[in-house]
Chain A
Amino acid sequence: MSSNTALQGGGPVTRRNPVSRLWNDKQTRSVIVQIIATVLIFAFFFYMVQNAIANLERLGKDFDFAFLSAPASYDINQHLIEYDSRSSHARAMTVGIINTLLIAVSGIFLATILGFVLGVLRLSKNWLTNKLAHVYIEYVRNVPLLLHILLVHGLLVHSLPKPKQASSVGDVAFLTNRGFFMPKPDPEPLFWIVGVLFVIGLIFTFLFRRYARKVQDATGKIYPVFRIGVIAVVVIPSVAFILLGMPVNWEIPELKGFNYRGGMVIRPEFIALWLALSFYTAAFIGEIVRAGITAVSHGQTEASLALGLPRKRTLNLVVIPQALRVIVPPLASQYLNLTKNSSLAIAIGYMDITATIGGISLNQTGREMECMLIVMALYLTFSLLISTFMNWYNSRIKLVER
């Protein structure tokens, strides 16, 4: 400080020693700090790798990924691709990846819908809905996720009937403690017409939206785009499906021995993990949505209403575009949380990445170093993919204000 006062004092500038001058220069100081930090980081990683190599040597282990092609010799209850116990560890890992992706995508989907509903209910002026949403959010987000997963799983396994006493839905779908058995569609040749109509409907809706915007710019006419889209995508294919005489054979699950065979099955582990993850994350998303909508000042709504815009358009054109800006970044981190939290699947035996390559494969081969690196790399990849997508979406909706 004394050198500063000397400068400010307007007296003769005292010549300080060059080291002190360098250190007090804003730019040089920042360079020096960065160099020191880089050196420290490299030193740390060098030490860690050296340490790992030394430890592996001491244990007589090498670092090798060849085990991935050896037979895994364990079963996986839910596999969307072909798999049996003679398949390789790499194959088991792939099954795990698919299961993790499945739970992450379906979880994000349900959590987003539930979360937005909760957020809106939380803002409701109706005392009852508001309080119910509040109690739900406070309960769910203050109890550990693992307990939710165990609770839902326990409820499903213990309260649902055994296959012999399955509660059936119209004798085609069956609810049991071994899972939810559903008929599996087996499309007949004519079914492709319905499929084509559906795809045409999607393309039409997309193009029609652009066309509608052009027409509105030119003439002011406003088309009910959403309703027309629903007709094109849902109603027309459905009508075609009925007119064609429902060209689908259903493979209906049948009780054989102690369990159902055939059809499709959703296993209780999946349902439990899916519901618990979604309900849990939805509570957080609900709060984020509420915060986002509250962040848009009431004056905005008033100004829009005062201009004669109906409530729905006020929401769509004024409130939501401003709320999304606040909602999307924290929403992205909730998606990341959900994906990473799905590793708790191991508690109820849902075979995701952690349970396959990071669990049984690791235990059987003793390759903890390699397996853990693979698991970390996989989660890192998923997380980076999600955040890249969310960043892209965020930059698309980000509001320019100046």
Chain B
Amino acid sequence: MNEEATQERVTHTLGDIAIKIREMHKWYGQFHVLKDINLDVQNGERIVVCGPSGSGKSTMIRCINRLEEHQRGDIIVDGVELTNDLKNIEAVRREVGMVFQHFNLFPHLTVMENCTLAPIWVRKMPKAEAEETAMKYLERVKIPEQAHKYPGQLSGGQQQRVAIARSLCMNPKIMLFDEPTSALDPEMIKEVLDVMIELAREGMTMICVTHEMGFAKTVANRVIFMDEGQIIEQNEPEEFFNNPQNERTQLFLSQILQH
């Protein structure tokens, strides 16, 4: 892992409930992807979700901003229940930022336009103000000088940092990270993790699907282990890594921490 991981742990200050998931199930046709998910996330809490591939980690966090629909149970985000109500869904998405494994920047817009698109069209922000905000966040992810380039001109790590800045421009209350470093070359992982750690320090509510265990140890309040669509185990990072209770967790950790 990177050196940052060994630095002092991020301190916790927790608040009210940000996300509440109750008895949530999801099927893809016949396939039962998520089984009886129950999860409470408090404001300011930082959760890392891990597990073998195909265990439903991504699907679960994609349910939180309804990029995926759940079929049974309740999901309440920031006090709004996710149903088929489009207005509710849009309201939730305005407050929940998401960073994707493959960045999904808009290739036809400059970095600046990527960052100002949603503030202008969703928050109805004047262009100058939106650009000012965008610049602020681009500085925070340390690439203000790339503002007028197109995403295709940037490296993977830079693109992912732009994607983070783009989400932050909407001033979200919750950030979801869906394997944000999995598509990156090893030397670029650190620059993205640094930005995420910084964000965690500032008290952002975060849910990260990631295999970066060093990041989990530094940042997370809680680590969740999923397998076959279920939450198998969750605990504070120290307990989770040093003293995993479930057999499957032990097996997973032994495989992932071997090298």
Q: Which residues of A contact B (CB under 8 A)?
A: 216-222, 297, 299-300, 302-311, 313, 317-318, 321-322, 325, 399-402
B63 to chain A, nearest CB (A): 12
A220 touches B125 (CB 8 A): yes
Query: 26 pairs across A/B with beta carbons < 8 Å?
Result: A217-B126, A218-B128, A220-B125, A222-B121, A222-B124, A299-B100, A299-B102, A299-B104, A302-B67, A302-B100, A302-B104, A303-B98, A303-B105, A306-B96, A306-B98, A307-B97, A307-B118, A307-B167, A307-B170, A308-B93, A308-B122, A309-B117, A317-B117, A317-B121, A325-B108, A401-B150
B126 touches A313 (CB 8 A): no
B181 to chain A, nearest CB (A): 17
A286 to chain B, nearest CB (A): 24
Instruction: Say yes or no: A307-B122 contact (C-beta < 8 A), given A300-B104, A302-B104.
Output: yes
Across-interface contacts of B130 in A (CB, < 8 A): 220
Across-interface contacts of B127 in A (CB, < 8 A): 216-218, 220
A219 touches B126 (CB 8 A): yes
A310 touches B124 (CB 8 A): no
B217 near A: Cβ within 8 Å?
no
Across-interface contacts of B105 in A (CB, < 8 A): 303
B102 to chain A, nearest CB (A): 6
Across-interface contacts of A219 in B (CB, < 8 A): 126
B90 near A: Cβ within 8 Å?
yes
B4 near A: Cβ within 8 Å?
no
Across-interface contacts of A399 in B (CB, < 8 A): 107-108
Contact for A306 among B65, B102, B107, B124, CB less than 8 A? B65
Across-interface contacts of A305 in B (CB, < 8 A): 67, 93
B166 near A: Cβ within 8 Å?
yes
A213 to chain B, nearest CB (A): 10
B76 near A: Cβ within 8 Å?
no
The chain A residue sitting closest to B129, CB to CB, is: A220
B15 near A: Cβ within 8 Å?
no
Contact for B126 among A218, A307, A311, A317, CB less than 8 A? A218
> Which 7 A-B residue pairings sit nearest by Cβ, starting from the closest?
A303-B104, A308-B94, A307-B118, A217-B127, A299-B104, A306-B98, A399-B108
A322 touches B93 (CB 8 A): no
Contact for A220 among B102, B107, B124, CB less than 8 A? B124
Across-interface contacts of A302 in B (CB, < 8 A): 67, 100, 104
A308 touches B124 (CB 8 A): no
Contact for A401 among B102, B108, B120, CB less than 8 A? B108
B104 touches A308 (CB 8 A): no
Across-interface contacts of B122 in A (CB, < 8 A): 307-309
Across-interface contacts of B67 in A (CB, < 8 A): 302, 305-306
B73 near A: Cβ within 8 Å?
no
The chain B residue sitting closest to A217, CB to CB, is: B127
B90 to chain A, nearest CB (A): 6
B152 near A: Cβ within 8 Å?
yes
- A237–B148 Cα gap in the complex (Å)? 45
Instruction: Say yes or no: A321-B121 contact (C-beta < 8 A), given A303-B100, A308-B170, A400-B150.
Output: no
- A219–B125 Cα gap in the complex (Å)? 7
The chain A residue sitting closest to B91, CB to CB, is: A308
Across-interface contacts of B93 in A (CB, < 8 A): 305-308
B153 near A: Cβ within 8 Å?
yes
- A313–B108 Cα gap in the complex (Å)? 15
B150 touches A402 (CB 8 A): yes
- A313–B150 Cα gap in the complex (Å)? 21
Instruction: Say yes or no: A309-B121 contact (C-beta < 8 A), given A217-B126, A220-B126, A302-B100.
Output: yes
- A297–B127 Cα gap in the complex (Å)? 28
A402 touches B121 (CB 8 A): no
B100 touches A308 (CB 8 A): no
A146 to chain B, nearest CB (A): 41
Add 19 more A-B contacts to A220-B123, A222-B124 (CB < 8 A). Answer: A217-B126, A217-B128, A219-B126, A297-B104, A302-B104, A303-B104, A303-B106, A305-B67, A307-B122, A308-B93, A308-B94, A309-B117, A318-B106, A322-B106, A322-B107, A401-B151, A402-B149, A402-B150, A402-B152
A307 touches B166 (CB 8 A): yes
Across-interface contacts of B96 in A (CB, < 8 A): 306
Across-interface contacts of B149 in A (CB, < 8 A): 402
B158 to chain A, nearest CB (A): 13
B156 to chain A, nearest CB (A): 15
A402 touches B104 (CB 8 A): no
Across-interface contacts of A402 in B (CB, < 8 A): 149-150, 152-153
- A217–B121 Cα gap in the complex (Å)? 11
Interface residues of B in 132-164 (CB under 8 A from A): 149-153, 163
A322 touches B108 (CB 8 A): yes
Across-interface contacts of B108 in A (CB, < 8 A): 321-322, 325, 399-401
A309 touches B126 (CB 8 A): no
- A300–B163 Cα gap in the complex (Å)? 12
- A325–B126 Cα gap in the complex (Å)? 29
- A311–B96 Cα gap in the complex (Å)? 17
A220 touches B100 (CB 8 A): no
B200 to chain A, nearest CB (A): 20
